[in-house]
Amino acid sequence: MPSKTILVLSPHTDDGELGCGATMHRFIEEGYTIIHIAFSICKDSLSAEWVPDTLAIEAKKAAAVIGIQQDNLLLLDFPVRQFIENRQLILDELIRLQKQYKPVMVFIPSSTDIHQDHGVIYVEAVRAFKHCSIYGYEMPWNNYSFSGTTFIRINENNLQAKLKALEVYQSQQHRNYMQPDFIQSLAKVRGVQAGVLYAECFESIRIIQ
Ligand SMILES: [Zn+2]
């Protein structure tokens, strides 16, 4: 029987929810198991008003909203903007994940994501996951260009789950891409392109059917 396990790789907590939160919710409804791995809980990026593990707490709440089992949320602690120095350790971790979970699909940052940590996860994931489909999620604030060729239809419930999951990231609400109307508008744009109400759009990095 083909694997029904999907890995979502987030360089930092909240990347997965932003890039494919509604898609994760849809696939869980369809009986897939989502394993969400965040490579940094971004202790150094938080302002002084937040305790250092705030993003770990928020990521656990967001997982519950999406429907990801707590055991399937893996939170690592690589320092932000130092993924390049840790790239071999990150590749080792990705290879371990590949062997453990044998996923059918992996969602990662796109090839045109300009954030240096996102770039490391893209390059090392393409290396580690040779034998499954790989999709690059869209982050318009990090993408000077984006080749979106896969559209995943999402319904109102899936979109609402994504919005609620993002809302629990209270420490990140100051970022303009966290605004619910922006998230909904992008889902609408992608939906119009796919002939449905809402969709999330992905770069088709490697497709194995
Ligand atoms: Zn990030």
Span 28-55, pLDDT tens digits: 999 999 999 999 998 888 888 899 899 9
Number of residues that this document lists for the chain: 209
| pLDDT score of 2 more than 80 | no
Q: Where are the domains of the chain?
A: 5-206
Q: How far is the CA of 10 from the centre of ligand 1 (A)?
A: 7
| pLDDT score of 198 more than 80 | yes
Q: How far is the CA of 159 from the centre of ligand 1 (A)?
A: 20
CATH for 5-206, among 3.30.70.1560, 3.40.50.10320, 3.60.130.10, 3.20.20.60? 3.40.50.10320
This prediction's pTM: 0.97
Cα 33–chain centre separation: 15
The pLDDT value given to residue 200: 98
178-189 tens-digit pLDDT = 999 999 999 999
97-115 tens-digit pLDDT = 999 999 999 999 999 999 9
7-21 tens-digit pLDDT = 999 999 999 999 999
Q: Please work out, in degrees rounded to the nearest 5, the angle formed at the alpha carbon of residue 160 by the alpha carbons of 183 and 132.
A: 75
The pLDDT value given to residue 43: 84
Q: Which residues contact 168 (CB under 8 A, 6 or more apart)?
A: 58, 61, 62, 65
pLDDT over 70 percentage in the chain: 100
Q: What is the mean pLDDT of the chain?
A: 96
Q: How far is the CA of 12 from the centre of ligand 1 (A)?
A: 4
Q: How far is the CA of 53 from the centre of ligand 1 (A)?
A: 16
What's the count of helices (H) and strands (E) in the chain, helices before strands? Answer: 6, 7
Averaged over 176-200, what is the pLDDT? Answer: 98
Q: How far is the CA of 81 from the centre of ligand 1 (A)?
A: 10
The token pair at 41 is: 């809980």
Q: Is 25 exposed, middle or buried (0-12, 13-18, 19+ CB in 10 A)?
A: buried
The pLDDT value given to residue 46: 85
The pLDDT value given to residue 184: 98
Averaged over 122-142, what is the pLDDT? Answer: 97
Query: How does DSSP assign 100-143, residue by residue?
Result: HH--SEEEEE-TTB--HHHHHHHHHHHHH-TTSEEEEEP-TTTB
